[in-house]
Amino acid sequence: MAYFAYVRVSTKEQNVDRQLVALKPYNIKKKNIYCDYQSGKDFDRPEYQKLIKRLRAGDCLIIKSIDRLGRNYNDILIEWQRITKEIKADIIVIDMDLLDTRTKNGSLTGTLIADMVLQIMAYFAQTERESIHQRQAEGIAAAKAKGKHLGRRASPLPDGFRTVCMKCFDGELSIREAATILNMSHATFYRHFVTWKKEYSVSDG
């Protein structure tokens, strides 16, 4: 049995220290810690793929939080099943005690509870995602019906602005990190981000 860890941040500008500190109590060998500086939108990440190739039955994969594994809960469910059912390795999510598949008291309680919790999380994440998209579409349609222009004509925004804004909205990037990625000043990005949220974020009417 071997212990492995997976660490992920979206860009090289982000810091992995907080995740590494959380892993220290598990005394994982440095060669068994894999780190990607890449979005969690899918699992096509070089270090993650190397990790999966090394995992064997009885091994244990440790991550700090479930969103370090990925951002899409439906994809996480598939990958979770692959690791726990096909490879037959365990998973520990440090920030959530219930997401620990290790056998407890000689029974399968760990796996059963972890699977149930993950299924519930995936359901609510998908429901919230669909709700946000629906309300965004309704807000855009209502604004267009009133003849409003969505966006600022006078100042063209950098390519990828909306993608970076969504990452800020999801908590994946800080305001300063986003401004750096877009080569904008902190104040300028924040001003445009506030406008973007008003136009495209969840609105209660």
C-alpha torsion sign, points 110, 25, 39, 165: positive
Q: What is the DSSP string of 52-66?
A: HHH--TT-EEEESSH
Q: Is 10 a catalytic residue?
A: yes
Cα–Cα separations (whole angstroms), residue 197 to 105, 127, 168, 179: 48, 20, 10, 16
DSSP state of 37: E
Task: Point out the catalytic residue in the list 10, 131, 185, 201.
Answer: 10
Distance, in Å, from the CA atom of 39 to the CA atom of 80, rounded to the nearest integer, reads: 18
Phi/psi at 91 (nearest 5 deg)? -130, 135
Catalytic machinery residues: 10
